[in-house]
Every structure is written in structure tokens, then in C-alpha cells.
Structure 1
Amino acid sequence: MLGVICTLLTPSESAFAQTEQQIKTEIQKKLSSNAKVRSVTAAPVSGLYEVLVGNEIFYTDTSGKYLIQGEIIELASGKNITEQRQADLNRIKWSDLNQANAFKSVRGNGQRQLAIFSDPNCGYCKRLEKSLQQLDNVTIYTYLIPILSPDSAQKSKQIWCSADPYKNYIDWMVNGTAPTGKTDCSNPLDKNLAFAKAYGITGTPTLFFTDGSRFPGAVQVTDIEKKFNSLK
């Protein structure tokens, strides 16, 4: 009997859950079939609800009549609540990354770890790689995801199938020497693409740190160093 009692909702909790479900239903009716409402939960502001569409955060009122796009800032602390919530949603488990599907570069003691999802035809990835040459005492895992142009897959396979994938990759990304060689070796590209789809990685470069947090885009090395320092 005790176990049953522990799983029951109070009347107020039940009504609250019902309201969230009603809002979710109403909003989903108004959106296209391609926009999936993942969840509706109470926002930290009275009268507002957080609406998660895909991996994007919106807000709505109790009627579900309006969809609000924007950020909630707590004035007393200056905390960007929406930004923090988005960061939490974007977080992954470092252990979910299969390092066998990446090529690895170790510099110095290699103690600091970083994972990068990259397309060989990505200009921002090239900019990032040039900046990353300044980093030391780091292990970098590079996951190739050919998503940008028709020959991204060919370049990715040529890089992966080479005798030294990291060198071949850097020769292209930093020095401009196009990859050459075979493309018919066993490679992890499909697995990397499946991972990217499952975790909402829609652009390159995308970086992950050991605490699971992600940095999208060609971030500055100073920001990467700052993040590493926060993980100590």
C-alpha cells in the first residue's frame, strides 16, 4: 500500500500536469507536423510555461495561445535563465562519445580533453583548427561529419583512410594541401552522422568538453582555455 501511495500525485500536481499536457496539445495543433513539441513545463516566471520544440526553447501562457521567442533574464543576479537552460539541454555525457570513431591528437601531457565535430569543407572549422595550434597539454578527438557539400564525404574518407588521419586533416585544414588517396576503407562516418542527428549537432564546428557542455562555432582559444580552467 505504501508503494502505491508514494506514486500518487496530489490534486494540485495532477491538475498541473494536466495543464501542461493541454498546452502541449494546443500548441502542437498550431505548429507544422515537422515541428515536434517535446515538452511543456512550468517556467521560472509565474504564468509562463517553457515549450521545447526540437532543441529550441520558447515560452507560452496558460492558454497556449501565444508562442514567445526570447530570453528570460533574472534582473537581481543578471543571470540569463534561458541561456543556462539551453546549455543544460545541449549537454551530453562525455562517455557517450565513442573515441574509436575519431582520430586523436595528443599535445604535451594531454591531460585536458576536447572533442570536435568537423566537416573538411567547413571554413569556420579551418579557422578553429588554425587557432587550436596554440593549445598545449591537450588531447583532441576529431569526429568527421560530412554535412556541408557533395564532396565532404570523399574528403572525409580520404582523410580517415590515410596512414596518418590527423596529419592529413591538418595538412588540409591549416596548410591547404588537399587530401588524396583511397576512400574505400572501413570508416565511422555513418556512425558519426547518426550521433550528430541524435544529439542535435546541426553545424560545424561543434566542440564538447568532459563535463558534457558544448560550444558551437569557431570559438576563441581564450574561451576554450577559460572553459578548461573552470573544469579544474
Structure 2
Amino acid sequence: MRKSKAALLLASAMLMSCAGAENSVEENIRKAVEPRLGEGVKIDSVKATPYAGLYEIRVGDEIRYTDKTGSYLIVGHVFNLKTSEDLTQARIDDINKIKFSDLPLELALKTVKGNGKRVIAVFEDPNCGYCKRFRQQALKDVDNVTVYTFMYNILSPDSVVKSKNIWCSADRNKAWDEWMISGKAAPAAPANCTAPNEQVLALGQKLRVNGTPAIFFADGSRIPGAIDLQTLESKFSSIKQ
């Protein structure tokens, strides 16, 4: 049976009313919560969740929760007890995904091992101990991978100098490995050589890279921190080619 024009108009009006009410709730939450998050802190989004009547508040890559009145703030992760899934972490991972093909790979060192079919981009600081561990315990032995290394200088002014010296070396990749794995410093860069330190720093800040190493995969996902070879291989296996 066809619905009458009046019925269709009524249904449309009801949907618009519901959408308007939801938007009103989200705006009210924003007005109630944002001033209490600290000076200069801005809420990027407010959205209803499918669980427990909670609303998700996103600030950058951080997730918080509140009720529909914005009276309470919940800091922590929500888990699905039936599946043990960390729902909050899944959202954070989704927020942090990038489009790998948009990375300015010309600003990175490039190393190809084996057939090079598997691809990662790594943000590393030359003074980062965890980065050196990742090189020594995972990247040193992994095969069939292309590694793009962005020298991301966030630990000390000396990091900038070391990165420039490595970038300006005759063999950048060799100079980087010698420093990160063997502790052999690269020679001083020629005065007329420039390195993309500032561009890489801006890129990392744009991608919200807050620590090193930060590993990005072809599917846009990331893993922060040093991981071992087994974890790296497991991640590769989970990515659909």
C-alpha cells in the first residue's frame, strides 16, 4: 500500500525533529563540558555511542565520555565484556589512521630488503633508545620490506644536528644504520647541505606523533613504540594486501 503524501511529510518531519534534537544534545554537551577541560582546549567532536547512553567527546586523539546532560566526565576505556574488545582503543586507532599514499616519502630515508613488497613508515629520533631497540630487535632481521624512515627530532637540539649529518652523508641509509645499530656517528654535514628537518617536524605534528618510534603501515594504521620481530610480522599478516 502506498503511503499518502501527508504521511511521508509527517515521517520526514519526525526524522528532522529527531536529528535536530540529537544535534541540540551534542551542542549542549559541548557548551557544558568544553569550558571545564582547561584553557584553550577545544572539543573536536561530540557523538552518541551505541552503549550505555554515553556520549563520546573527542579532543585530538583523546577520547572521553559524558552523559547527555554533560554533568559527568568519564576518563578511561570502555570494553565489551562479551568479546573483550577495547572499544575506546578501537576508536582511537580509527581516528589515528592516515592515508599512507599521502606521506611525502621524499623526506624520508628509504631502505628496501628482499622484494620490498611490505611497506612501513617509521618516525624516529636519532637519540631515541627505543628506536634503536626497534632497529636492533625487529628491522635488522625482517625481510621483504620497504622501510621509509622520517628522522623526527623531538628529544634534543642535538637530534637535529645528528639527523642533518646523516641526511647529508654520501650513503644516508648506511649512515643511519651505523648510528642506530652500531653507535658510529656520521661526519659533520657540509655547510651547503640542507636537511628536511623542519618539514618532517611539521609532518609529525600534523599526524599527532607524540613519541618515537611511531610505525605506520600500508593500511594507514599505526603502532606507537618499539615492537619485536614477532609482533611486526603478526601485524604484517593482519593487513590485507
TM-score normalised by length of structure 1:
0.93
Partner of 2:60: 54
Size of the aligned set, in residue pairs, is 226
Partner of 1:205: 213
Query: Which residues of 2 match residues 128-143 of structure 1 at below 5 A?
Result: 128-131=134-137, 132-143=139-150
| Counterparts of 1:9 and 1:190, CA distance in 2 | 49
RMSD (CA atoms): 1.5
Percent of counterpart pairs with the same letter? 45
Paired residue secondary structure (1:192): helix
Partner of 2:79: 73
Partner of 2:109: 103
Query: Which residues of 2 match residues 77-226 of structure 1 at below 5 A?
Result: 77-131=83-137, 132-182=139-189, 184=191, 185-226=193-234
Q: Which amino acid aligns with 2:215?
A: L
Q: CA deviation at 1:80?
A: 1.5
Q: Which amino acid aligns with 2:148?
A: Y
Q: Which amino acid aligns with 2:151?
A: L
Q: CA deviation at 1:61?
A: 0.9
Paired residue secondary structure (1:120): coil
| Counterparts of 2:103 and 2:231, CA distance in 1 | 22
1:166-202 deviation digits (Å, cap 9, x = unpaired): 1111111100112222164232211111111111111
- Compare 8-17 and 199-208 and name the one that shifted more: 8-17
| Counterparts of 1:179 and 1:124, CA distance in 2 | 20
| Counterparts of 1:211 and 1:63, CA distance in 2 | 37
- Compare 110-119 and 46-55 and name the one that shifted more: 46-55
Q: Which amino acid aligns with 2:134?
A: L
Partner of 2:7: none
| Counterparts of 2:81 and 2:225, CA distance in 1 | 28
Partner of 2:6: none
Bigger CA radius of gyration: 2
Structure 1 residues without counterparts, runs of 5 or longer: 1-5
| Counterparts of 2:59 and 2:23, CA distance in 1 | 18
Paired residue secondary structure (1:151): helix
1:12-47 deviation digits (Å, cap 9, x = unpaired): 111101110110121111121232211111122132
Partner of 2:49: 43
Q: Which amino acid aligns with 1:158?
A: N
Partner of 2:235: 227
Structure 2 residues without counterparts, runs of 5 or longer: 1-11
| Counterparts of 1:33 and 1:92, CA distance in 2 | 29
Q: Which amino acid aligns with 2:89?
A: E
Whether the aligned pair in 2 keeps the contact of 1:154 and 1:183 (CA below 8 Å) is no
